[in-house]
Structure 1
Amino acid sequence: MKRCDLMASDDIAQLVHALSKTHLGDGELSYKGLGLKLDKAESVERLVQEIEQYQDLRALRLEGNTLGVDAARAIAKVLETKQQLQRCYWSDLFTGRLRSEIPMALKSLGSGLMTAGARLTVLDLSDNAFGPDGVKGIDQLLRNTACHTLRELRLNNCGMGIGGGKILAEALTECHRQSSAERTPLTLRVFVAGRNRLENEGATALAKAFQLMGSLEEVHMPQNGINHAGVTALASALRHNKDLRVLDLNDNIFTKRGTLAMAQALGHLRNVQVINFGDCLVRCEGAIALAAVLREGLPVLKELNLSFGEITEAAALVVAQALVDKPHMEKVDLNGNCLGEEGCEALREAMEAQDKADMLGSLSDDEGEPDEEDDDDDEGEHENDDDASIGYDACNEEEFVKENGMTANEESPSKSQCPEVLSFLQCPSAEKLLQLGEMRRHLLPEVNILYPHKAVDVLLKVASLYSEEPVAKTTVLETFDMLLRKLLSSSTLQAYITFSTLLVHIGVLKGEGKRKKVPLVPGHLLCLEHAVQQDYLAQHYASLVHTILSKNLEALKSCSSSVERLNSALEKRCLD
């Protein structure tokens, strides 16, 4: 061996001997953060010796060093004797290594664990840029009995990509299958995979594994380039993880469709304490849907992050109002949205009125009020898209209907067999509505809650026929009541979606995508005025409408007298 190599080995041995033998209790041996460059087997001789001599090794910390293939093989050899090893903290372990080296090193380490018959509870390989090939390096380990007992899997910032995500999902699925066959099913509790470029395909593959396990308590998947399709898949899976406490999907691309799907999933979860949907383009309709879930669920929620989501003042205030019965709340982050100076102040006042002012985070990065013409068209969500129901693709409609307790054979919009109803919908008039008589009940299938935009379109067609002529007025109001009552009969989430959709249509709430607004007529507002006074419309629904309406009265100036009547009815109902 060359003199310089001998000196290097001596230096490393001295460092390891002097600094690394840290016994932290619970059987932990730590070499964390020493910055050691461990290339050859000789460079880890002292380390291997100390591992070998540690009789009750349960946790091994190697993070913050850089490990070569030969050194990994030497460590793996001594790990073959460590059956009691449970926790492997091996993040940031391959700095400066060739990408081709990392899978070989990981396979060696995994082989040592498998030979030992170890039963891992924690595996942390975060901050190792090993890509899909690196996932292949741990594939066999994850499928092995060594991981049947795994409780925490941390793979943050590993560059797995779509391919790595799929490999990981298959490995976890197989691990669950094998462990279940032994009557000790995998019950993974913490999954961390931020900054991995998983995108929709990777997220969807993992969602299937999540649903199968049903044991997750924490999910951290920020900054993965996941849009509404992947978010919807995750939402469908996470609702089966009843003990979920922390959900961090920061910096992905929800848009309305993804947010509505996630809102529905959250409605099934009672133990969530932390929600981080910051920088996810939640937007107004999504925020209102989440407010519905806040109002009727999430009883132990502590932290809510909806920052940088293009949420306007009205929607932010609806969220704030929904926090009134949340005794465990500690932090609400709505920074970086589109509130404007007055909106920021209104939000602070709303939180103060609930004695929650100290929970509201900084609003220093507010983007200001949005331009009126700034209607984004993300994800190709055009007006004929129909919102893919309320967050679910059409292929999942039957499942969605079943989950919401609806009749599976309920007709979808525009399927009516009644020619008179079809004629009315194609060219509505007061005369046609009167002629329908009892056949007006055939309008009910046209307001299917799965299709909120089409349902609201029917509702507004009826309302537009309002007049003070007694018979016409009674018929219009009775029909409006019948249709709106159905739309509000399902859940708070569905009701909030209905009202936000209606308010988008009449131009008082910023919607998502390019959508032609309905020409406003007094009947739209006067039918709402009537509905607000009815028992079927709960007080908090009136509060929702009043909050949004009051922040954009300018959009209703063409019907000023009708607006005054509606506002008066709303204020009275909100005080009841």
Structure 2
Amino acid sequence: MSTFDLNSINSALSDSGRPISGVDFSGKSLKLNSADDAQPIVDAINGCADLQYLTLTGNTLGVSAAEAIAKALEHHPELKIARFSDMFTGRMKTEIPPALAALGDGMIKAGARLSVLDLSDNAFGPIGVEGLAKLLQSDVCSELEELRLNNNGLGITGGRLLAKALAARPRKLKIFIAGRNRLENDGATALANVFKNMGTLEELAMPQNGIYHVGISALSAACRQNRRLARLNLNDNTVGAKGAQAIAEALPNLKNLKSINFGDCLLKSKGASALAKAFKENSILLESLDLSHNEIGRQACMEVVDAITALPDSSERLSRVVLAGNSLGDAGNKKTMRDKLGASAELSDGEGSDDEYVTDSEEDGSNSEDDDDDDQAGRESEDSATEDAQHLDTSADFAKNITLNTSGVEEVETDVGRFLSQPTLDNLDRLGPNAHDVIDAHLQSIKDPASLIQAYVEATFSVAGLSEQSPLASDVANKLFPILVQRAGEQHAAAWILANTVLSALGLIKSEDKTRRIRWALGPCYNSLSRVIDAPYFPNALRDTIRFFASSKKNTIPFAECLCR
């Protein structure tokens, strides 16, 4: 097996005298589609009497393989560490939620109590959090200390859903990692509210999330309540002067803070000066500080250096101070900084380079501190169509609130156009016995792939909604489903669009477009789909996804039961 992180495993296992054992398949690049493909992992799990850790990083799991592994996990309540990062490469997003849910169910049935859960580098988006929610809210994660969700494409919606799942019960997380997730202000604020009630964080890393001072201020308020915080990484967010001031105000509560990474955070001189003042006044014993590429003037840079070297032990304590990419002044200024910082100084980007970085003004402290730079109201607080998916509607009257986009259909005054706008039996009868061919010919003129798929889904369910009222409607619906799959398959990267549109049409997730309402009866649509969902032409991933979401809704949508296994 590949090597594993011994230090992480040791720290996660409460019994220091316990021999470390587990299964590690990291980096094998295995493509596991079926239960047979997963058999080597299943055998290794079954053969491990004391499965304290399971690492599957760097392989790719399909739903069937995940279910087989989950079955093996049901017999291992001793599991403490689950490293499932980079585990769905090449998979459609529709496969990930049911695969995650299966693995979670296996651990839930086992009664495991995880200390570490790593799901980084799995681009499952907001919809993936739905597959995780049950696990995160279960007893399996009741003792979780380390949660890594780096580079998952969560977006604002995913951040909110994650915060909701974590807030379901008291938490004692020590490490939370969620970089490169497009959380923005709303997602960061939702998570900050969870952290505020936690009080146990020792490391918080949320780099590259498009967070501005509103979200930074919320995180700063949360940090105040986490007095053990030792490492804070907000690299490549727009902290700005306002955010820096909020963090400076939190520093009196953070006496254990050892490492700060605010590189590429547009601090400018004003923000850097606020931090320097707080470092000095609160005797913060930093060991590592990264303020690189922040458009800081030379005087403010010197203030930072003076503040962190004020105490006599700084030369022994400081291991890394990065100020590259700022205006450091002339060679004399840099020499002074190097003398004070010693070996910890990193004042230029290239090793051995002494390049001069200048800001807009050579005058110390005269950098433009335009508050508009970090007051990006237009980037805040709204879910947008760029989100990967919308979360499930848990209300009982879900269908009343769901609308679908028909912008791609040119509803001219023809028999087909009349049926698409008014899906009645009379209008369907006008299309004749070959209505499926007539509808297909009409819709093929749509050029935009998303609009074309949307139109075919709407047309198919408009007919399916009438299938229990007429043999003709039932026959046409049966013939439209394979046409729908075929036309969607002809479009580039259309699998996710098709899944999202079908789930919306069935009322299983919210639609992104709120301009129109569902115009078909859902009960007959479910029954009609259940008759074709196991057909050979029906994509396996789409089938699994529909059944996964139907299963989660069967208590609120009685007719969803017909699609469940």
Q: Aligned pair in 2 of structure 1 residues 23, 235: CA closer, same or farther (>3 Å)? A: closer
Work out whether 1:313 is the aligned partner of 2:298: yes
Take 1:105 and 1:248, find their aligned partners in 2: how far apart are those partners?
A: 31
Change (3 A) 1:118 1:366: farther
- Does the C-alpha gap of structure 1 residues 66 and 246 become closer, same or farther in structure 2, counting only changes over 3 Å? same
Instruction: Please report the TM-score for the alignment, with normalisation by the length of structure 1.
Output: 0.59
Write out per-residue CA displacement over residues 162-202 of structure 1, whole angstroms, 9 at most, x where no aligned residue: 011011111111131xxxxxxxxx21000000000000000
* Cα distance in 2, alignment partners of residues 376 and 287 from structure 1: 11
Q: Give secondary structure in 2 for the equivalent of 1:150.
A: coil
Amino acid at match of 1:29: V
d(CA) in 2 for partners of 1:264 and 1:128? Answer: 36
Amino acid at match of 1:74: A
Task: Give 1:377 deviation, angstroms.
Answer: 3.2
Of 90, 99, 102 in structure 2, the residue corresponding to residue 108 of structure 1 is 102
In structure 2, the partner of 1:228 is 213
Which residue is 1:358 aligned to?
343
**Whole-Å separation in 2 of the counterparts to 1:311 and 1:275:** 16
Match for 2:335: what amino acid? R
- Aligned-partner Cα distance in 2 for 1:23–1:122: 12
**Counterpart selection for 1:206 from 191, 198, 201:** 191
- Determine if the alignment matches structure 1 residue 330 to structure 2 residue 323: no
Distance 1:157 1:22, change over 3 A: closer
Shift of 1:380: 6.2
User: 1:26 is matched with which residue?
Assistant: 20
Root-mean-square deviation (CA), in Å?
Answer: 2.2
Partner of 2:124: 130
Structure-2 residue corresponding to 1:74: 68
> Does the residue aligned with 1:41 lie in a helix, a strand or coil?
coil
Moved more, 263-272 or 228-237: 263-272
Counterpart contact for 1:190–1:217, Cα < 8 Å: yes
> Which of 348, 361, 376 is matched with 1:371 structurally?
361
Q: Residue 23 of structure 1 contacts residue 30 of structure 1 at CA under 8 Å; is this kept in 2? A: no
Greater helix proportion: 1
- What one-letter code is carried by the residue in structure 2 that aligns with 1:238? C
Q: Deviations over 1:141-180 (max 9, x none)?
A: 010111010000000000000011011111111131xxxx
Residues 1:139 and 2:128 are matched in the alignment:
no
Counterpart of 2:463 in structure 1 is none
**Counterpart-to-counterpart distance in 2, 1:244 and 1:23:** 22
> 1:80-119 residue pairs with structure 2 within 5 A?
80-119=74-113
Structure 2 CA distance for aligned equivalents of residues 23 and 157 of structure 1: 20
Q: Distance between the aligned counterparts of 1:376 and 1:228, measured in 2? A: 14
**Whole-Å Cα distance in 2 between the matches of residues 41 and 210 of structure 1?**
39
| Alpha-carbon offset, residue 338 of structure 1 | 2.4
- Does 1:266 find its partner at 2:251? yes
Read off the aligned partner of 1:58 and give its amino acid letter.
Q
Q: Report SS of the residue matched to 2:265.
A: coil
* Counterparts of 1:329 and 1:161, CA distance in 2: 36
> Would the alpha carbon gap of residues 330 and 40 (structure 1) be closer, same or farther in structure 2, given more than 3 Å must change?
same
Task: Find 1:339's aligned residue among 322, 328, 331.
Answer: 328
Letter of the 1:377 partner, please give it: D
1:190 and 1:22 map into 2 onto residues whose CA distance is 19
- For 1:367, give the aligned amino acid: Y
Deviations 1:302-344 (Å, cap 9, x if unpaired)? 011111111000111111111233422222111101234x1x5
Q: TM-score, normalised on structure 2? A: 0.60
Deviations 1:419-444 (A, max 9, x none): xxxxxxxxxxxxxxxxxxxxxxxxxx
CA contact (8 A) 1:313 1:347 kept: no
SS in structure 2 opposite 1:219? Answer: strand
- Structure of greater Rg: 1
Contact 1:225 1:253 in 2 (8 A): yes
Q: 1:141 to 1:292 in 2, by over 3 A?
A: same
Instruction: Write the distance in 2 (CA, Å) between the matches of 1:126 and 1:34.
Output: 17
Deviation at 1:136, TM superposition (A): 1.2
Q: How far apart, in 2, do the equivalents of 1:78 and 1:296 lie?
A: 56
The CA distance in 2 between the partners of 1:232 and 1:22, in whole Å, is 37
Q: Secondary structure at the match of 1:267?
A: helix
Match of 1:217 among 202, 211, 214: 202
Structure 2 unaligned blocks of 5 or more: 7-18, 350-354, 378-565
Q: For residues 442-467 of structure 1, what are the alpha-carbon distances to aligned partners after superposition, in whole Å with 9 as ceiling and x for unaligned?
A: xxxxxxxxxxxxxxxxxxxxxxxxxx
Q: Is the 8 A contact 2:359 2:367 kept in 1?
A: no
Between the aligned residues of both structures, percent identity stands at 45
- 1:109 positional shift: 0.3
Cα distance between partner residues in 1 of 2:335 and 2:368? 27
State how 1:48-59 maps to structure 2 within 5 Å.
Answer: 48-59=42-53
Q: Quote the Cα distance in structure 1 between the aligned partners of 2:358 and 2:374.
A: 25
What SS does the aligned partner of 2:36 have? helix
TM-superposed deviation, 1:369: 4.3
String of CA shifts for 1:360-390, please: whole Å, max 9, x gaps: 11324653242379736353679xx9xxxxx
How many angstroms apart in 2 are the aligned matches of 1:265 and 1:286? 14
1:389-404 aligned within 5 A: none
